[in-house]
Amino acid sequence: MRFFNKYINQVTVALAVLWTMPVLAQQPATPKSTVEDIVSTIALEKKSLEKGVAWEREESRLEDDYRSNMLELAWLEKNEELLSRYVEEANERLAEMTRTKARIEQIEGELVSKLLATVDKLDVLVQHDIPFHARERQDRMTFLKDTVVDYDLGMGEKLRRVLEGLQAELGYAQDAELIEQQTITIEGKDQLVSILRAGRVGYYAISVDKTRGWFYQLGQGFTALNEEQLLALADLKAMMESKMFSYLPALPVCEVSREK
């Protein structure tokens, strides 16, 4: 507004001069140069006024830009603070996750060692156990060993498979089995026999004509039964065939393996 005040005063003076021109006309003639100077002065004042208005507009625009830039700067500073806080929190979470991951890897390493020890002990048991389902059980042990060292498998899957293997071995102690017409080597000769298994402690063979019978001893193989034991084995076979058990025959059992 300071420009307007300045130029309004100057215009007022110029207008006053124009208003007095009729009066001056009655007086002696004013030199032409004086009139031209007045017109020139008015033109200059007009241009100055226009420049002043333009400058006022530019000044107003610059002030608006300044305020806008200051607001944007404040917004950026606020967001920079928020972003810095977020980055700091993210780094803390990342550090915690790194520590947790290291702990999990340590626990998994310990579990793998324990699983390997468990599978090794189970393998020793199978190797020194009575020889039933030998191929099936040995294949299972190979599968479990491969499972434990398979780095593509998660720990949960490894545990599940090992526990299933242990459960299968434990299950053998809770059932009985009769296998008819199987040829095995006894006393250096091939014999056609029926195999009877009572859990994990009784493993017997009886000839087809039921005139001879054997029981398995760890470390010794099949040993011949006496006549009384042979009759008890024949009764056991008959009960297993009928699936009706009236008594528990008195038969020798295998000594439990103590191999480590």
Map out the domains of the chain as residue ranges.
117-170, 176-242
Calculate mean pLDDT across residues 89-111: 88
pLDDT higher than 60, residue 80: yes
State the pLDDT at residue 236: 93
- CA 29 vs. chain centroid, Å, equals 105
Long-range contacts of 145-152 (CB under 8 A, 24+ apart): 145/119, 148/112, 148/115, 148/116, 148/119, 149/112, 149/116
Which of 32-41, 173-182, 219-228 has the lowest average pLDDT? 32-41
- Per-residue pLDDT tens over the stretch 124-164: 999 989 989 999 999 999 999 999 999 899 999 999 999 99
pLDDT at 245 > cutoff 50: yes
Q: Where does the pLDDT of residue 260 fall: very low under 50, low under 70, confident under 90, or very high at 90 and above?
A: very low
Q: pLDDT digit string (tens) for 20-69?
A: 555 444 445 556 677 677 777 777 777 777 777 777 787 788 888 888 88
Q: Which helix (H) or strand (E) holds 205?
A: strand 202-207
